[in-house]
Amino acid sequence: IEKEQSIFEDTVTYNANPTTVDYSSFSYKNRPVINLQPIDTATAQTAVVTAGSNSSVSFRLFDLEAGTNAPTDQSIQVQVSATGV
């Protein structure tokens, strides 16, 4: 029996360090391929995955220009997608 690939997509607010996104409703068999993209940030930022599983992902935002973790009080939006079976 084959399972079709499914894609989880959501936009979340980065308000904790780390921020965790739950996609357990998709019932992935293994950890899916995860993509995190900060949206419209004032400085260059990248997302760093701190934990990932078949049911959730946790990440931190790192401000490349400041050389520190991004603040959690600025309502930074992050586009999250997970693709797997």
Which residue type does 44 have? A
**pLDDT mean over 3-24:** 96
pTM, rounded to two decimals: 0.91
Give dist(CA 78, CA 13) in Å, integer.
Answer: 6
Residue 2 pLDDT grade (very low, low, confident, very high; cuts 50, 70, 90): confident
| Start-end of H helices in the chain | none
Phi/psi of residue 26, each to 5°?
-85, -10
Phi/psi of residue 78, each to 5°?
-130, 125
Q: Do residues 6 and 33 make contact, with C-beta atoms less than 8 angstroms apart?
A: no
pLDDT at 28 over 70: yes
**pLDDT mean over 16-20:** 96
